[in-house]
Amino acid sequence: MSCTTVLVGKKASNDNSTMIARTDDGHFDVKKTIVVEPKDQPRKYKSKISHVEIELPDDPMRYTASPSVDTKEGIWAATGINEAGVGMTATETITTNPRVLTADPLVELKPAKGRTKEIPGGIGEEDIVVLVLPYIRSAREGVKRLASLLEEYGTYESNGIAFNDENEVWWLETIGGHHWIASLIPEDSVVINPNQFGTDRFDLDDALGAQKAHMCSADLREFIRDNDLDLNQNGQSNPRDIFGSRRDMDHIYNTPRAWFMGRYLAPYSHSWDGENAEFGPESDNIPWAIVPDRKVTVEDVQYLLSGHYQGTPYDPYINHDTGMRGKYRSIGINRTGVTSICQIRSGVPDAIKGIEWICYGSTTFSCWVPVYTNVAKLPAYLSKVTLDVTTENLYWADRLLGAMADKNYADCVQNIERYQDAVNIRGMQIIREYDTRMKETGDFSLAEEANKKLCAMAKEETDTALGRVLDTSSKHMKNGFNLADN
């Protein structure tokens, strides 16, 4: 599933929080956001896609998840934060190369044929959050649990997975069917990862030794050597060159997104435009981790993940033809199901350090609703989504809003920006109010009350925006006609 990931280290953010965020770009998947209580977590899991069966521990924690409403192809929980204050997003589909897949093939389901029994496949995006998030108490533990599952069961796809806690952000990338590497994100950096094998620096000695900031499969050094995978020159170690891809399609679909995000994060430290630019939209060497020119906020992450090359000739909404309009794949794409920012904060009690910012549909047009995650349930506006189109939940309301505004972008964009700002401002005000109340009283059950107020606010602002965009779009219908009487 094609997605875009942004990871923010503790010292790179304005408030010393860590953030992991990802657009879940499916095929217009209908999504909801729920709380999974321990009693509802399966003790034996079976994947619908690969048919693999896995026994699960008997001590799960409560966690949030954004599963598909239609479960015919599985849960696809996507993202969440557990009650220990650990966030996870899974997965970013990444690229690899034929050499890797020859050396360690993907573990795919082999259906029964004749007298041959079915052979299950490995784990994949459908499964990973459910198999990992309820059982981990730190980001590092998340890497270790997922790695053990990959080594035992394998995977049928190439993926990147992020974990964060109050202090650390870790990124794991799969290599073939069973191998993997993981890196601790530098505290002062922001990682940008658009559907490619991203890691461009890795300390293999640390990964196979002290594991201070790197981890990997125990046999990775031999795996690289025995399969002639190392393409690096002059003693360098760039995993992107070893395990990743370098295709023409990357230059249309992937690298331009990294260029847009890097250009926003570090406009002064690097040159991004013109003939002598250090990096262009089709550069293969755009850094995976960037030290931003200024501290990064939640709003910055929202902007990055709703990007459509605004301010460049590639913007599909530009009102004149540049000859390059719409050339590259936007970040804020039409078929996104859910996007979340898992924010783990410092300076607040442990019970309320996890905030998840939820966004449905095309991020270009949708709002982001913050909710406290350490609660027993979430309001119906987020959690009671069905396959029936209705404005009584945020998923369908924002899908409708985006479909209308897209057709009349120039006339609707101001209303969309006002809508997004209003939800952000009012949402942050409510979070600040309830942070203070819960710190003063020690009554953390107020988080559920806060979430109700947050969703009521979001519904009010969404309904208002829908009315304004509907009015504008109606005036631009092609069958409009005015008869002026003499």
At 390, the amino acid letter reads T
Determine how β-strand 79-81 pairs with β-strand 87-93: antiparallel
134 SS3 class: helix
At 441, the amino acid letter reads T
Give the separation between CA 365 and CA 361, rounded to whole angstroms: 8
Give residue for tokens 């990147």: 160
Burial class (CB in 10 A: 0-12, 13-18, 19+), 57: exposed
The catalytically annotated residue of 3, 359, 367, 455 is 3
For 43-75, what is the HEC assignment? CEEECCCCCCEEECCCCCCCEEECCECCCCCCC
Give the separation between CA 94 and CA 176, rounded to whole angstroms: 11
Give Cα separations from 270 to 18, 169, 240, 297 (angstroms): 24, 24, 21, 20
Residue 168 in contact with residue 18, Cβ under 8 Å? yes
DSSP code of residue 123: B
Give the separation between CA 400 and CA 52, rounded to whole angstroms: 37
> 302 CB contacts (<8 Å, ≥6 apart)?
341, 357, 359, 363, 368, 420, 424
130 SS3 class: helix
181 SS3 class: strand
Give the separation between CA 226 and CA 224, rounded to whole angstroms: 6
Give the separation between CA 46 and CA 54, rounded to whole angstroms: 6
Neighbours of 11 (CB within 10 A): 13
412 is catalytic: no
Q: Which residues are catalytic?
A: 3
